Amino acid sequence: MTSSLTSALSLLARGHHHDLSQCTIDTCPIDSSYYYYRVSLAANATFIALFSISLIAYVLTYALTRRAAAFSFAMVCGVILEVLGYAGRLASWHNQWSQTGFLMQIVCLTIAPAFMSGGIYLCLRRIVYAFGPENSRIKPEAYTRIFIPCDILSLLLQAAGGGLASSESTANKSPDTGDNIMVAGLAFQVLTLLIFMLLCADFALRTYQRYKALGESAFDQNPLFVTLREGWRFRGFLCALALATICIFWRSVYRVAELAEGWSGNLIRHQWLFVGFEGVMVIVACFALNAFNPAFTIQEAMTGLGGLGSKKKMRKQEMERERGEKLEGAVAARSASGSASDNEGR
């Protein structure tokens, strides 16, 4: 009897959105709130603290090294959104029937990892240069040209869907249209990450096969990259990048499944799934790239041949070298001509 009454009250509260603003923990059943469960104060406060630490680490690393600007920008944007999202969930602890905190967390936490994916995509080109472009099926620059636009499209879809869902919910309308757009953006992000991981695996396999056949000559022999490959920090960065990619991918698959059911589906009702597959996965990815930030693990390679505008830099270096060789040849020819004239005079 009590269970039936609770269910009836829940349906009544959800059927009249204007009544939700009057609800409290004492007056309405918890499953009539936007979350369906009591939001954990401890879990969300912990995530705010952890993401704040990660944010400070990214900012300090860039301030001290002045390297990996694009990577740092992407990660900082993503982590700021994570902090805002968990702040929204923390605000919801005080009032789980308030739309503000709920919409803030669902939008910010949905789109934040799209920025982090962009940061991950930016790293692959440097890795290809470090081992040698001849080991890759496509040119190093193509990775950035393919995946960054895809990531931007995914981000735009998620942001547009989140904005539309928020406005629909605020107007007491069904947020399904906006939610579907968000799911489309997330699904596209999952597809992009999957293709990215397949290309990474293909590059690793081709590199290993060429190494078995050719030895060290299979790799780029630039002294900068030779030293880089031998260091433990670069190897740690490769492991951290792989871990971060898998975590973001796992999280994105979960959010597609969760949001595909709508804001009243089965998965969204379980807080432990959200904490484990959203919070834990993303903070592990952030801390992994904090510990092995490419700004200090790749160092000069971030602004050298593997950096932005690398093709132009290489061409410029080649032109300067050719100009120097021509100048040396002209000086040598002039010197030889002068010596010949002196000998004739004698």
Flag whether pLDDT at 15 surpasses 70.
no
> Rounded to whole angstroms, how far apart are CA atoms 204 and 189?
22
Same-domain status, 258 and 330: no
> Rounded to whole angstroms, how far apart are CA atoms 69 and 183?
30
| Residues contacting 11, CB < 8 A, separation 6+ | 32
**CATH (domain of 252):** 1.20.1070
Same-domain status, 287 and 140: yes
| pLDDT of res. 332 | 61
Is position 9 within any domain? Answer: no
Same-domain status, 296 and 320: no
Same-domain status, 299 and 318: no
Is position 268 within any domain? Answer: yes
Same-domain status, 236 and 323: no
The whole-number average pLDDT for the span 210-230 is 88
**How crowded is residue 289: how many other Cβ atoms within 10 Å of its Cβ?**
26
| pLDDT of res. 342 | 58
Q: Is there a contact between 254 and 19 (Cβ–Cβ < 8 Å)?
A: no
> Rounded to whole angstroms, how far apart are CA atoms 141 and 314?
13
**How crowded is residue 73: how many other Cβ atoms within 10 Å of its Cβ?**
16
**Tokens for 217?**
């000559």
Domain limits for position 331? 310-338
Same-domain status, 219 and 331: no
| pLDDT of res. 14 | 47
Q: How far is CA 187 from the centre of its chain?
A: 15
The whole-number average pLDDT for the span 293-317 is 62
Same-domain status, 120 and 170: yes
Question: What distance, in Å, lies between the first and last C-alpha atoms of the chain?
Answer: 125
> Rounded to whole angstroms, how far apart are CA atoms 305 and 27?
64
Q: pLDDT (tens digit, 9 = 90+) per residue, 53-93?
A: 999 999 999 999 999 999 999 999 999 999 999 999 999 99
The whole-number average pLDDT for the span 100-115 is 93
Is position 154 within any domain? Answer: yes
The count of structural domains within the chain is: 2
Same-domain status, 315 and 302: no
Is position 1 within any domain? Answer: no
313 against 204, higher pLDDT:
204
Same-domain status, 272 and 327: no
Q: pLDDT (tens digit, 9 = 90+) per residue, 165-187?
A: 888 888 888 888 988 999 999 99
| pLDDT of res. 287 | 98
> Rounded to whole angstroms, how far apart are CA atoms 259 and 262?
5
**Tokens for 182?**
């968000």
| Residues contacting 282, CB < 8 A, separation 6+ | 82, 112, 113, 116, 247, 248, 251
Question: Quick one: which of 2, 19, 252 has its CA closest to 151?
Answer: 252
Same-domain status, 178 and 253: yes
Q: How far is CA 74 from the centre of its chain?
A: 7
Same-domain status, 287 and 319: no
| Residues contacting 150, CB < 8 A, separation 6+ | 188, 192
Q: pLDDT (tens digit, 9 = 90+) per residue, 255-271?
A: 999 999 988 889 999 99
